[in-house]
Amino acid sequence: MAGQHWDNCDEDIKLFTLELVKKLKSLLDNMLTGVYLHGSLAMGSYYRPKSDIDLIVVVDTALDAALAEQVGVMIATHACQRPTLGNGELSVITADTARHVPIPTPFEVHYSSQWHDRILRGKVDYSCRRTDSDLCSHLMYVTKRGIRLFGKPIHEVFGKVEWEDFMVSVLSDGHWILEGSNILKTPYYGVLNICRILQLLSQDTQEVHSKDEGGGWALAHLPDRYHSVIRQALDVYRSAEAVTEEQRQTGGKIWNTDPLLALRDFARLQIERVTSKSHSSSDCDQGTHGLSVIADHNP
């Protein structure tokens, strides 16, 4: 199954997304600066049974608690009508946050499957300041490979995301995958994210990659003994086979635990080598050097 890009995605996916943009415009009116697509659908690696729709919404100023709740409920209600098993993942941020990218990065509203029920039950406190360690990496993907769906051009809205901050965000996300046996809970997601992280650490191009691209890179650069589990992860991710909500994390497949844990251990070692080297090197300010030796490990 070929990955979909926004330009040629299924019509129901595009209509669902554009209808959400329309509702955001109606609710936020002149406060809405723009709506921007990032992630797999913006990079041509959207797979309908598995992928989510990733959006960043920018507003000109902070939302009061009542309006923030209205926005959250509207998004969650609209998500109930989605045509796919995959959900949306959406953050609303201010124009000031988009321009200056403070760390930690604050948001006005966040929506994902994990937030869905809490939002609809009125269990979210919109009056307190909230931050998200993943937001920095999302903003990097917007600036590098995002698509404007509505509003001002990306370069007019988003400021520079420091590469070091981006990598801290990426590694923070990867930490969960490498912790304990978490990779066994979400095997294809875990494997492909590990591949993407190793690709980012191995290259000094300051370019960003999809999980799909990370898996392809890993087959060309990682030792042969990990190729089987990487191919399985790519095959499951790319499969057009329908899955249930319960099957989504595994792709409905049986996974051998030993190759997953072996790749986890290999990634832990590689990441530790690079991060410890970057911390001890005064002339390396990006923390992206040191994995070029990975190819020398083949087979």
Question: Beta strand 147-151 with 106-107: parallel, antiparallel or unpaired?
Answer: unpaired
- Together in a domain, 109 and 60: yes
Four-CA torsion 284, 290, 291, 297, nearest 10 degrees: 170
- Together in a domain, 145 and 120: yes
| DSSP category for residue 271 | H
Compute φ and ψ for 10, nearest 5 degrees: -55, 140
pLDDT tens track for 189-230:
999 999 999 999 998 899 999 999 999 999 999 999 999 999
In a domain, 1, yes or no: no
Which are the contacts of 226, defined by CB distance < 8 A and separation ≥ 6?
218, 259, 262, 263, 266
pLDDT score, position 173: 87
Of 157, 182, 209, the position where a domain reaches its end is: 157
Taking a C-beta distance cutoff of 8 angstroms, is the pair 32, 94 a contact? no
- Together in a domain, 171 and 153: no
Domain membership of residue 195 as a residue range: 163-297
Q: Which residue has the tokens 């509505």?
A: 150
Compute φ and ψ for 81, nearest 5 degrees: -100, 5
pLDDT tens track for 124-165:
999 999 999 999 999 999 999 999 999 999 999 999 999 999
pLDDT value at 284 more than 50: no
Dihedral sign for Cα 57, 59, 61, 65, please: negative
- Together in a domain, 175 and 147: no
In a domain, 222, yes or no: yes
pLDDT value at 232 more than 50: yes
Of 157, 192, 218, the position where a domain reaches its end is: 157
- Together in a domain, 176 and 69: no
Helical packing angle, 187-202 and 257-280, nearest 10°: 30
- Together in a domain, 86 and 181: no
